[in-house]
Amino acid sequence: MTNVNTGIRFPSLGNSYGSPTCNSCQTKARSAGEDGEGQCGYLEQVVTSRRRIKRGAVLYNGGDKFGSLFYVRSGFFKTCLSAKDGREQVTGFHMVGDVIGADGIASGQLTTDAVALEDSEVWTMSFDLIEQYSNECPSLRFYFLKTLSNEVVRLQSLALLLGSLRSEERVAVFLINLLEKLKSRGLSQSEVLLRMSRDEIGSFLGIRQETVSRLLRLFSERRILHVDNRHIKVLDSHLLKTMAESQGVMH
Amino acid sequence: MTNVNTGIRFPSLGNSYGSPTCNSCQTKARSAGEDGEGQCGYLEQVVTSRRRIKRGAVLYNGGDKFGSLFYVRSGFFKTCLSAKDGREQVTGFHMVGDVIGADGIASGQLTTDAVALEDSEVWTMSFDLIEQYSNECPSLRFYFLKTLSNEVVRLQSLALLLGSLRSEERVAVFLINLLEKLKSRGLSQSEVLLRMSRDEIGSFLGIRQETVSRLLRLFSERRILHVDNRHIKVLDSHLLKTMAESQGVMH
DNA sequence: CGCAGAGTTGAGGCGCTTCAAGAGCGGTGG
DNA sequence: CCACCGCTCTTGAAGCGCCTCAACTCTGCG
């Protein structure tokens, strides 16, 4: 147990459900020399490696054998699912605090590609070790269950967006969610430097890059945003929220 | 332990990843008097009630307090997510063997509505008990983890469908998946009596009911399907599969 | 400076929606 | 048993939102 006090932390995932504090195995935690913060020592135990991933590099590919989950320590990733015919769907953007790779649990194979959109650091968490320590530490187990459940909730919302919203609303929702996520991580809530291209935004939102571009200009003209290439500043967050649920044509 | 031999079974979930056989806690299983099939006695323990749900009745609503998962024993359900403005997205159709309600783990509140589309039977599995027995039975724990992971994979595919496919392909994929699911449960693989309306199919696929109707007629005219209201028969499954990935315009 | 990739912008087209009207179906009651 | 009613489904006509295609500009980087 060499790394108990190296400052390894699993921060809040930004959904306000908190970090995996260990309430139910306090005995274990205490015997492991943990402090009053309630952080469970087991979390450190499951991390088997720490990797730096360059921008553009692939963390994993769809079809790769599943053996671990990945904790994004810093940087920014996209995950995409590809159809047989080559069409791609970006299924998510992931930043510090996110855990990715859980789609592989079901079949033992990862289903998406994960690509770094900026230089990043990733901690590999062995699934075998997670399984092993899950016996001793219920809160560790619960943490990963919640992570999975959160991903389900997120993808349900994505389905709602893709299935029911007009493109204008999609872009507005995208920006709101992104800023909300940044805010929950203590970063700016009105300004962002996009790590992804228009094309990647479009793929995520189920629209073309040209449409993304046009809508950003529209928002810009309406003084809702200030857009300078990938640098976005929100000028009127109230109006942006209105756009996100503008009672459009589609019902 | 009164119900060990009542024949309660968690059938294969139709994804070929198998039922939660208990390989890793064989000692436990044996001591619980289980047979050579490897079925883990703990599965019976977490079921706290068995309910019959009439067609049209609600199993749960979005916002309801989460406390258990639901195992669909028989019948057919839809789950839908509603936006604030009233728009609805059907996020899934669920039949025998499916577990629903896992979206509630993350926040303690269910996020979708679950409505029975035919008279159904549901087993309620207490989450507290699942948590409790998870300590003793790793395969029980793993079973629910896989269930969650499967839901993630399913929703990723839905996102791909909603984000990248043309409506013709969506309907084809929908039918193929439905028939595949029926097949995995030992039911007909070329014929189906739809439990859901055109409107519900449309909501699921992100298109209008009129479009669903038109496309079914199109498939019918091309001798791919025989359509009689909700009764669908596949005449040319090869051609149907072709439609599902017809190199359309959208790339 | 020059090049490749990313982003923008316009023009035209088409796929799906919207709206509307009618047909079909299943359940209910006289 | 059939007539009725509500709901689902179908079908057509018209419109529009987003896509496609293409040309151009901008940005970052060697």
Each residue of A108-143: pLDDT tens digit? 999 999 999 999 999 999 999 999 999 889 999 999
Average pLDDT over residues B164-176: 98
B203 at A interface, C-beta within 8 A = yes
The helix/strand/coil state of B65 is strand
Determine whether the interchain pair B87/A164 forms a contact, defined as Cβ–Cβ distance below 8 Å: yes
For the ranges A126-140, A185-199, A207-221, the one whose mean pLDDT is highest: A207-221
Which residue in chain A is spatially nearest to B151 when comparing CA positions? A152
B77-120 pLDDT per residue, tens: 999 999 988 899 999 999 999 999 999 999 999 999 999 999 99
Those residues whose C-beta lies under 8 Å from the C-beta of residue B169, and which sit 6 or more positions away, are B161, B243, B244, B245, B246, B248
- Separation CA B213–CA B249 (nearest Å): 22
Q: Which nucleotide is nearest to A248 (CA to C1')?
A: D17
- Separation CA A128–CA B90 (nearest Å): 35
Determine whether the interchain pair B159/A205 forms a contact, defined as Cβ–Cβ distance below 8 Å: no
* pLDDT(A6) > 50: no
- Give the pLDDT band (50/70/90) at residue A218: very high
CA nearest B243: which of B166, B186, B130, B144? B166
Instruction: Encode burial over A71-103: b for 16+ CB neighbours within 10 A, e otherwise.
Output: bbbebbbbbbbbbeeebbbbbbbbbbbbbbbbb
Identify whether the C-beta of residue B172 lies closer than 8 Å to the C-beta of residue B240.
yes
Q: Judged by CB atoms within 8 Å, which residues 45-104 of B form the interface with A?
A: 81, 83-89, 91, 102-104
Average pLDDT over residues A207-217: 98
Instruction: Locate B74 and state its tokens.
Output: 């028989």
A47-96 pLDDT per residue, tens: 999 999 999 999 999 999 999 999 999 999 999 999 988 899 999 999 99
The helix/strand/coil state of B53 is strand
Identify whether the C-beta of residue B133 lies closer than 8 Å to the C-beta of residue B42.
yes
Determine whether the interchain pair A160/B89 forms a contact, defined as Cβ–Cβ distance below 8 Å: yes
Q: What is the pLDDT of residue B180?
A: 95
Measured CA B179 to C1' D1 distance, in angstroms: 39
* pLDDT(B207) > 70: yes
Q: Which residue has the tokens 């992971």?
A: B149
Supply the pTM of this predicted model. Answer: 0.88
Average pLDDT over residues A165-180: 97
Q: Judged by CB atoms within 8 Å, which residues 153-192 of B form the interface with A?
A: 153, 155-160, 162-165
* pLDDT(B41) > 90: no
Q: What is the pLDDT of residue B25?
A: 47
Measured CA B26 to C1' C12 distance, in angstroms: 68
Q: Which residue type, as a one-letter code, is found at position B163?
A: G
The lowest-confidence range among A98-102, B39-43, B152-156 is B39-43
Identify whether the C-beta of residue B21 lies closer than 8 Å to the C-beta of residue B139.
yes
Q: What is the pLDDT of residue A247?
A: 54
- Separation CA A18–CA B57 (nearest Å): 35
Q: What is the pLDDT of residue B42?
A: 74
Angstroms from B114 CA to nearest CA on chain A:
14
Give chain A positions within 8 Å (CB) of B146.
105-106
* pLDDT(B36) > 60: no
- Separation CA A179–CA A232 (nearest Å): 10
β-pair partners for A68:
A126
CA distances from A31 to A7, A28, A40, A94, B135 (A): 18, 5, 11, 35, 19
- Give the pLDDT band (50/70/90) at residue A33: very low
